[in-house]
Structure 1
Amino acid sequence: MIYVEIIVMIVGAFLAFFFALWYSSCFEDFKDSYTYNDKPSLLCIFTKGLILSLKRKQGRLYREGGKFGLRLSSVGSKDSTANSVSSTGIRPKRANIVFKDCRLNPAKLQEYRKVCGDTESVSVPLMYMECLFTRPLITLAVSSKSQLAPLGLIHIKQTVTIYENLDDLLTLPFDLDTEVMRYREVDRGVEADIRLQVFNMAEKCVWEGETTLLSRNPKAQRSGGHRTAPVKPEQGGFNEVELSVPGDTGIRYAKATGDWNPHHLYSWSAKLLGYRQPIAHGMWTLAKALAVIQNSGGTLTLPVHVDASFKRPLFMPGVCLVQCGVTSPAVRWLRVVDKVTGAPHLIATVTLLKT
């Protein structure tokens, strides 16, 4: 009997020791820089996110430095700890996280090509690099550098600029730099613009994007008119392709990219977050629409700039229409709309930049 007690005490001591290490690591703030192999664990990120979500409310802008529960009283605050203010929004102090020496996973890249329909190309798809920022974005969102509640952030806009061919990234390491550029207080809550940059071994930026996230104030009126009204017909002709969206698209995209947000996965998990069905990832919708253009003969030469706004949720399973046309020799428009109502899921422009 005494041996059993000794074994239980030893096991208990080990468990207490490892729990103390995990607990302390979860309350230490994240570093400014990581290598891809020593990035924060998902368990640590989840714990920090849960704690921060309990301390912060959606739709509010908080002070920097991890001072939980302190809301900025106004955009023009004269407090010495407040952010700088410009006409375009509230510029925070340097708030970035860098993941160094990252490498592409060939198996994940192939999965991405399959789920996004980019099967004709052997190079890196235009939107693929964005999904590599999933871990850096989450890490930044749950750190003290963030000034928003991490729960319920909505991806409403995305810009991407590809400056040159990305084939070197298939074999060589690169760095991912994620930085909060500005906050804006809007009628629906607070918007955050986050810059994403990919640097090659020569420290040259070869891919750049800006993600706009909305922390929605639950008390804000949900008119939805700007998101559900049918888009006006474009002048001139355009191409249209019907696109079927299988019910497992969200799971397949999550496996390829690591974006496991629950409202994209199952009916029960989507209903927990207020959706009647799972909704497609916005970046999947954009990547799929671009692949439809390219696979139908629409060549996109580099450098290129893509500016997209995500509108009405695309429920799965479902059917939508991908429409595209030409505004000028260098500019094309792209949209994804509901087959029945014509309400937009996605509106984008694609601009071929001069070299």
Structure 2
Amino acid sequence: MHTRAESSMPALAGLYRRAAGQALADAARRRTRPAELPDERLVVEGHRIPERALRRWQAEIGPVDPASVPSVLVHTQVFGAAMALMAEPDFPLPLPGMVHLTNAVEHRRPAAAGEALDVTARAVGLVPHHAGTAVDLHVAVREAGEPDDAPAAWEGVSRYLARGVHLAPLRPERPERAEFTPPAPTAQWTFDGGAGRRYAEVSGDWNPIHLSALSARAFGQRRAIAHGMLLAARMLDRREPGAAAFGEGFGWDVEFHAPVVLPARVAVRYEAAADGSTRVSAWDPRRGRPHLDGRIRHARP
């Protein structure tokens, strides 16, 4: 596998602009993208999560402990490495308009603001989907200087879907939608029409489907939709262990269903499971359509 090194974390806004330009050029020239993932990983050494990122997070999302940065904030500060792979011309799927499907994260040790971190990203698989093709992106975060085979302090796999791009000859059938009966809610999230733009300021994720009705319609959405990681951040808000209580770490998973169309109110239920985890459901209280299923796997005492 070829290793590409970057001296600093690639900025998401610049990557989106570059990818959008590439998509337009591909359409004009009728260029066909490769059908396979490049055999490459991207490494950023000595990356530090800046204090300004914590201030923005606290203003928009919730409290921040600089000694134990929220897990989704770690994601936003390191995912530029994965996005840089997706923005390349030889990546088989176009980045603009991609839809977030799932996340699975293991957060083993606290990440502190200002701490030097080594970040490694790679695309680990293309997944046929009834609506197109999905890709899994793996990102690992270690303390600076740790060997690649050391357990990562934070690592996550994110799955994104490129609608309408079918690379495999066989297309999976659309799965039957499971019947959903809304349970009694234990919480509610409220998002106004500008939530996508404000979260883009926090995260650097300027995907057009989140910013306005006009930009979202250009990529197949009727109105702007909430970032998946904004929903994940709300799911985890005030439910992560602090640095002193981290123990052996924790983990979380989320699967996204119907998008949250902005503005929106979202009904939520947190429920303790028999295995000690917390199960999370979020849905549209008017239509009864599920938005996400999540799980928070708590740190051991």
Instruction: Report the TM-score, using the length of structure 2 for normalisation.
Output: 0.81
Partner of 1:161 in structure 2? 106
Partner of 1:87 in structure 2? none
Partner of 1:260 in structure 2? 206
Contact 1:56 / 1:148 at 8 angstroms: preserved in 2?
no
Match of 2:155 among 208, 213, 227: 208
Partner of 2:286 in structure 1? 340
Match of 2:54 among 106, 109, 114: 109
**Deviation by residue 1:13-57 (Cα, 9 ceiling, x = unmatched):** xxxxxxxxxxxxxxxxx98111117x5896576345523554379
| Superposition pairs of residues 163-312 of structure 1, within 5 angstroms | 163-167=108-112, 170-203=113-146, 204=150, 205-217=152-164, 226=177, 231-232=180-181, 240-291=186-237, 293=239, 302-312=248-258
Contact 2:70 / 2:240 at 8 angstroms: preserved in 1?
no
RMSD, aligned CA: 3.4
Contact 2:60 / 2:198 at 8 angstroms: preserved in 1?
yes
Q: Does 1:36 align with 2:1?
A: no
For 1:44 and 1:245, the matched residues in 2 are separated by 26
Identity across aligned pairs (percent)? 20
Amino acid of the structure 2 residue aligned with 1:211: S
Match of 2:32 among 50, 59, 69: 69
Change (3 A) 1:98 1:45: farther
- For structure 2, list consecutive stretches of 5 or more residues without a partner in the other structure: none
* 3-state secondary structure, aligned to 1:328: coil
Once the 2 structures are TM-superposed, how far is the Cα of residue 316 of structure 1 from its aligned partner? 1.6
* 3-state secondary structure, aligned to 2:162: strand
Match of 1:128 among 73, 79, 87: 73
For 2:47 and 2:85, the matched residues in 1 are separated by 17
Contact 1:100 / 1:175 at 8 angstroms: preserved in 2?
yes
For 1:352 and 1:152, the matched residues in 2 are separated by 33
**Deviation by residue 1:131-174 (Cα, 9 ceiling, x = unmatched):** 1234323321122552222333211111111001223xx13211
**Deviation by residue 1:261-305 (Cα, 9 ceiling, x = unmatched):** 12211222223333332211110011112116569xxx9865111
Once the 2 structures are TM-superposed, how far is the Cα of residue 256 of structure 1 from its aligned partner? 1.0
Change (3 A) 1:327 1:273: same
For 1:207 and 1:341, the matched residues in 2 are separated by 36
Aligned length: 286
Change (3 A) 1:300 1:224: farther
Amino acid of the structure 2 residue aligned with 1:133: V
For 2:64 and 2:98, the matched residues in 1 are separated by 34
For 1:70 and 1:119, the matched residues in 2 are separated by 43
Once the 2 structures are TM-superposed, how far is the Cα of residue 249 of structure 1 from its aligned partner? 1.2
**Deviation by residue 1:158-191 (Cα, 9 ceiling, x = unmatched):** 1111001223xx1321122110111122322211
Contact 2:13 / 2:205 at 8 angstroms: preserved in 1?
no
Change (3 A) 1:264 1:300: farther
Instruction: Report the TM-score, using the length of structure 1 for normalisation.
Output: 0.70
Amino acid of the structure 2 residue aligned with 1:119: P
Amino acid of the structure 1 residue aligned with 2:197: I
Partner of 2:82 in structure 1? 137
Once the 2 structures are TM-superposed, how far is the Cα of residue 325 of structure 1 from its aligned partner? 0.4
For 1:44 and 1:171, the matched residues in 2 are separated by 24
Change (3 A) 1:53 1:209: farther
* 3-state secondary structure, aligned to 1:69: coil
Contact 1:263 / 1:270 at 8 angstroms: preserved in 2?
yes
Contact 1:101 / 1:175 at 8 angstroms: preserved in 2?
yes
Amino acid of the structure 1 residue aligned with 2:8: Y
Change (3 A) 1:155 1:53: farther
Partner of 1:76 in structure 2? none
Q: Greater share of helix residues, 1 or 2? A: 1
